[in-house]
């Protein structure tokens, strides 16, 4: 994987983690952005170096996810079964749908790239579960709503 693509993938992962952290800790966008950019991008934990992220994409994803949260959550709800509204799903997946939704609404990448990237993130969090297929189906539905001309 080339460096630019790897940095974009890392930014998407960090955006999901940052949105999760914001929801669970009540921290502001500014506080989480500062923490990630200062302490997480390229950090070394127990000898393992974290990837550098594309700072611009990271900022855009978390800012857009916050600014468009109501619209993204409504799109997600329409993609879910009625018995499972967005507030009942796993907070990691909720953060993933918000980051992915933000990129589908305001991003430059083709929807298929966005979906693939976020399905890969779901696989990282849930390697043995059904969540990646669930994420694929929900994001596909959201992409068709956000960018109908792309399909």
So what's the pLDDT on residue 86? 79
**Quick one: pLDDT at residue 52?**
85
Say which CATH architecture domain 3-150 belongs to.
Orthogonal Bundle (1.10)
Total-model pTM: 0.91
- pLDDT, tens digit, for every residue of 18-60? 999 999 999 999 999 999 988 888 766 766 767 788 999 999 9
Note the pLDDT of residue 49. Answer: 67
In this prediction, the residues of the chain whose per-residue pLDDT falls under 50 are none
Burial of 116 (0-12, 13-18, 19+ CB in 10 A): middle
pLDDT of residue 96: 97
- Structure letter (DSSP) for residue 76: H
pLDDT at 85: 75
Residue 54: which residues within 8 A CB-CB, separation 6 or more?
Answer: 4, 7, 8, 10, 11
Q: 53: Cβ–Cβ under 8 A, 6 or more apart, which residues?
A: 7, 10, 11, 13, 14, 36, 41
- C-beta of residue 138 within 8 angstroms of C-beta of residue 100: no
At residue 110, what are phi and psi to the nearest 5 degrees?
-60, 145
Domain boundaries, the chain: 3-150
């Amino acid at each position: 994987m080339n460096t630019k693509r790897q940095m974009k993938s890392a930014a998407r992962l960090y955006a999901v983690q940052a949105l999760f952290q914001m929801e669970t800790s009540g921290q502001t966008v500014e506080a989480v952005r500062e923490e990630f950019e200062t302490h997480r991008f390229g950090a070394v934990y127990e000898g393992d170096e974290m990837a550098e992220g594309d700072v611009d994409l990271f900022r855009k994803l978390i800012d857009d996810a916050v600014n468009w949260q109501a619209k993204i959550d409504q799109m997600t709800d329409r993609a879910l079964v009625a018995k499972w509204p967005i507030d009942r799903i796993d907070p990691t997946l909720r953060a993933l749908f918000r980051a992915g939704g933000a990129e589908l609404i305001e991003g430059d990448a083709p929807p298929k790239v966005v979906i693939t990237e976020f399905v890969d993130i779901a696989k990282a969090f849930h390697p043995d579960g059904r969540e990646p297929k669930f994420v694929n189906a929900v994001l596909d539905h959201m992409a068709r709503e956000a960018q109908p001309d792309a399909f």
